[in-house]
Structures are given as structure tokens and as C-alpha cells.
Structure 1
Amino acid sequence: MTDDGVDPAVDGPTSHAGAAAVDGARIDVALVRALLAAQFPAWADLPLRPVEPGGNDHRTFRLGPALSVRLPSASGYVPQVEKEQAWLPRLAASAPLPIPAVLGRGRPSARFPAPWTVCGWIEGEPASTAAVDDVERFAADLAHFLVGLRDAPTAGAPAPGPHSAFRGGPLRHWDGEMGDLLERVHGPERDGAAGIWRDALDAEEHRAPAWFHGDVAAGNLLVRDGRLAAVIDFGCAGVGDTACDTAFAWTQLEGGARALYRRELALDDAAWARGRGWAIWKALILIGNRPPAQVALGQRVLSTLLAER
């Protein structure tokens, strides 16, 4: 499950070849402090506490007033760490808002068999809980960020794959799973959802591959003083089809904010058709989850997409 609450299902991240298994249940303050003492002793005595609510792919800890520590929670997420360490410093120059700064690259060891990262702490509250003063301005700021990310250099950058839960790749990768997901709804809802999915598969991509974030979710958007202040968690990022970043329009935005987000992203109709495919895939997964809030969100997104169609 990525930090937007969506389980990448059976085709999600697989074990990292050549690495010992990572046990997320063992990641706690004591382990992180031991890792710091061994590899970054200058930071080892700073106050340390888990960040709550935590994500699924990674465990994050606040270290002193200005640092954070981020560790993969399972072996399949190790490639995300390596990708972030390599690319976050390069993406920072193109990003219109702050993104995590890599300050220390932890090495695999007997204590923890995977790389891990020390980043700069970015002040802000996740948009999932923060008060946003102007939702339309928030939508425009987010679109401006994604356009800037989209324009970042792509030479040598990672294509979609298990590291991104195949976000940014062809939707057809999920076509087999979609047949099962459609069983979660019935009657006109199933017919409408199937139609949205078919339209998404038929929508051809015309743009050159570009950087996508891959996990544009409220928990990965930091708010300060009522405005979007930073974007975090690039574990699902890569270079491919940026239509996957449009799903936020239906999961979190309404009315004028959704229209403004669409206008400012400046993508063609085919990209938005593929984006509706990503959104319907996400909605049906959420409908099958256990937490009532996720089920309600999935149903709301489904209803919105069907009403638009």
C-alpha cells in the first residue's frame, strides 16, 4: 500500500534482489538511534521520535529540530530509497516548492539490511489534516509544482516499474486486476466504471515521457500558513506518463478547484481520460478496503466520475 492508501496489489513491489529481508516491525527508535550512532555519530544524541501518522512504504522519524530519518518498511521498497537518494538532489533545481533534501545516505548493515536516508525536516502539516485557506489557490500551486517537475531533465531517469507501483506506465498493466475490482460494484455503476476504464485504455499518449510524482495524495502535501508549502515522498516518482498525477482532481478537489487544477496542468484530453482510469482504479480499490473512511472516499470518487461521464 502506498501512502495514498492504495494497495499496489499482487503486482506491487517485489523483494530487492541480493538483499536480506527488511522487517518493518523491527523499525523503532532504538534501531534508528543505533544506526545513527554507527554511521552518523554527530546526530546520534539528538531527540528522536516517530512521525505520526506514518506512511506504509517507509517509516519516518523526526531527528532534532531540523532533520528526519526515513527507512523502507519492506524489501520491495528499497529501490525507492536508492531512487530518492540519487534523484531528489537533481529534482530540487526544477521543483517550484521545497522537496526533501538528502543530507545523509545510510548504508546497509547487520543492524538494518537496506539503505536509509537522513533528510532535512520541512515544516508543515499534511493537507489531510491542515486547514487550507483557499482551495483554488492550493490547486493552482500544486499544478504549478507538477508542471515544474514535469520539465525537469529526464536523461538517465527511472522509467515506471515496481519501484513506482507501475504508476506512470501503461494502464493496461492493471487490466487483469481491474476485472476483479469491477466485481466490487454492480449494475449501472459497474457498467459505467468499465466504460471509464475502456476509454482510458483507448486514450493514446502523445507527450514525451516526463517526470511524475506518482503519489499525489493529501498526506504528501505539506501546508503552512494555509498554503501549499512543500511536496514530499517521491518513492513512486519516475519518468513516464504524467496522467497518473491527475487523479488528485477527483480524489481531493471539487468544482472550481478541480477545473483550475485541470487548466493549470495543461494536459490534453487523452491524458485526462487516462487520469480517469487511474482514478477509477483507485476508487474501486478503496471501496474494497476495510477502513470506513477509505470506503467512503472510494464511493465518492466513483460517484463523481460516473456523474461526469
Structure 2
Amino acid sequence: MGRMHADEHAIDTALVRRLVRGQFPCWGYLPVTPLASGGTVNAVYRLGADLTVRLPLTAGGAADIAKERRVLATLGSLPVAVPAVAAVGEPAEGYPWPWAVHRWLDGEPALEGRAASVRDLAEFVVALRASTADGPPAYRGKPLSSVDAGVRRAISELERTGEPFDASAALARWTSALAAPQWTGPPCWLHSDLMPSNLLLRNGRLTGVLDWATAGLGDPACDLIPAWNLFTAATRPVFRDAVGADDATWARGRGWALAMSVIQLPYYRHTNAVISANARHVLTELGCRKP
């Protein structure tokens, strides 16, 4: 990945090794290996065989370390593995923010359009939604109207990039999503960032879900995003039936998928190939890419 953010802190293997040795000498002898990741908030390194080190790239991601730790401590039993926080590090060695060490979870990241268990993911979404624990507002658990201005700006920007993008189709789908009835039920627990790279698979089965800093309570529509960012037209109805989405919630979920893709693609098209490819997949599935 290239440098993604103008205010991104320089992070490399030598820095990670110094931080670990200085604060957690019990792990200081372990090898440090950078991990290829489609993530946009943290640099991720493997520490030995059983740990990962996650360092926020920008000041905006630094607060996520504490929030994710609180969320993971709050959640009850889920049908798949979630990260366990092994330690939290302090600013040092010129690195200005807290950072975290997590237990390693086995599995390969999901990839849009490839085989993945629809029912496994639906079971996870339903189980998370059923949690009764108190929690913070989810990052994307609010009404779609809260991102309306940003989505419209992004559609205009994307139209200027030279991508084979149908802005008229995108605006029509966005307008339709905004018109859907809003969620009037109690706030539900949501992950709110179910990107394929946050879903770990083994032999096509979902085994783990990563990156919980955006999780919290809100409208369940945003956890329907995998219907478009992971699945295709052939499997999308199975996912919808399994999560029990009504017409309005499904329409809002489609709106969130569109919002994420049109905001991500112009920002990351030259710096994050994983996110860019996924955004293009979503726009294709939504009929917003020109042939």
C-alpha cells in the first residue's frame, strides 16, 4: 500500500521492534513481520506466531485503541472468534499515540465475489444484533441523511476521476435509499465496518471478525453492506432472507454500501488497491459502473 493520508505517521518494522522491546520485553525476542492489509486506520505487524501489533496511522485513529478494547470487553459470546487484546502500549520512540497488541486469529481475509458462507455471516450479524449489552453509538448506525452532503460531494468527485462511473445512476440509487423509512426500533448492536478484509475465512467458512472500533448501537441496516461488498446477485437474496431484512432496512443497507464505495474510491484509488477494488465491486453490483 502507498501512503494513504496526508497526516500519516511513518511506521516501519524497526519502530515496532523498538516499541515492543521497550515496553513488553517478554515479547522482545519475537520476530516482527509487516502484514499486507487493506486497512486504512492501522499499520499491522505480526509478532511471533501468536500476536499482532496494531499502530494507528493518524491522530484520528488513536482513540480507536481504547474504544475497541472497551467494545471487545463488553461483547458476549458470538458464533465466530473476535480479537483479544493482549496489551496496550504507550507513546514512545517518537511514535505519538497508544497502540495495541492482539492475539493472532487464523484465517484468510474474504474477497469480494469469491466463495464465502452467506449463512455464517448472517448468523454472526443476527447474533450480534441480539446482544443486550450497553454500548456506544455505532460509527454508521445513524440515519443515512447524516452523510448526504458527503456522498453527493464524493459522487461529483468520482465523476471527475476518469473512472467508468455512472453518476446519474448513483444519484438515483442514493435518492431512493434516502427515501426509505427510517429505523424506529430500539438501537441494535452493529459491527458497522463489515468489509471483506475484516472477515476471516477457512475453507469458505467464516471463523473470525476483525476491527471493532466502529462497533456499537444503531440502525441494523449498515451491517447489510456485505450483500453488495462481498456477495453477488446469486447469493444476495439468501443473505437477505437469513438476516430477516425488511424492504426499508434493505434499502438503507444498499444506501450505506453506495455511500462507502463512492467515498472510498476517489480517496484510495491510487493508494489502497484492496479498498479500491472493493469499491468498484460494489458500484458494479449496484449498476453504477459503465461497461
Report the TM range for the smaller structure's normalisation: 0.7 to 0.9
Identify the match of residue 55 of structure 2 among 71, 79, 92: 71
Are 1:119 and 2:102 an aligned pair? yes
Partner of 1:271: 249
Identify the match of residue 301 of structure 1 among 264, 282, 285: 282
Partner of 1:201: 178
Are 1:245 and 2:223 an aligned pair? yes
How far 1:130 sits from its partner (Å)?
Answer: 11
CA, structure 1 residues 290+118, in 2 after alignment: closer, same or farther (shift >3 Å)?
closer
Identify the match of residue 171 of structure 1 among 141, 144, 169: 144
**AA of the residue aligned to 2:64:** Q
SS at match of 2:71: helix
**AA of the residue aligned to 1:63:** L
Partner of 1:56: 40
SS at match of 1:69: strand
CA, structure 1 residues 120+278, in 2 after alignment: closer, same or farther (shift >3 Å)?
same
1:201-220 matched pairs, under 5 angstroms = 201-203=178-180, 204-220=182-198
How far 1:173 sits from its partner (Å)?
Answer: 1.7
How far 1:303 sits from its partner (Å)?
Answer: 4.6
Partner of 1:139: 118
Cα deviation digits, residues 191-226 of structure 1 (max 9, x gap): 443232223223211221112112111111111133
Contact 1:85 1:105 in 2 (8 A): no
Cα deviation digits, residues 228-282 of structure 1 (max 9, x gap): 2111111222211121121211122123421111111123221111111112223
SS at match of 1:70: strand
Cα deviation digits, residues 125-153 of structure 1 (max 9, x gap): 11129974xx4xx1110111111111223
**AA of the residue aligned to 1:56:** T
CA, structure 1 residues 61+246, in 2 after alignment: closer, same or farther (shift >3 Å)?
same
How far 1:53 sits from its partner (Å)?
Answer: 3.2
Identify the match of residue 79 of structure 2 among 82, 96, 103: 96
- Number of positions where the alignment pairs a residue of Structure 1 with one of Structure 2: 276
Contact 1:35 1:111 in 2 (8 A): no
Q: Using structure 2 for the length normalisation, give the TM-score.
A: 0.83
Runs of 4+ in 1 over 4 A off after TM superposition: 291-300
Are 1:182 and 2:155 an aligned pair? yes
Partner of 1:12: none
CA, structure 1 residues 189+34, in 2 after alignment: closer, same or farther (shift >3 Å)?
closer
Question: In 2, distance between residues paired with 1:224 and 1:275?
Answer: 26
Return 5+ residue gaps in structure 2 as ranges.
Answer: none
Identify the match of residue 70 of structure 2 among 59, 62, 86: 86
How far 1:180 sits from its partner (Å)?
Answer: 2.4
CA, structure 1 residues 131+63, in 2 after alignment: closer, same or farther (shift >3 Å)?
farther
Cα RMSD over matched residues? 2.9
1:28-47 matched pairs, under 5 angstroms = 28-47=12-31
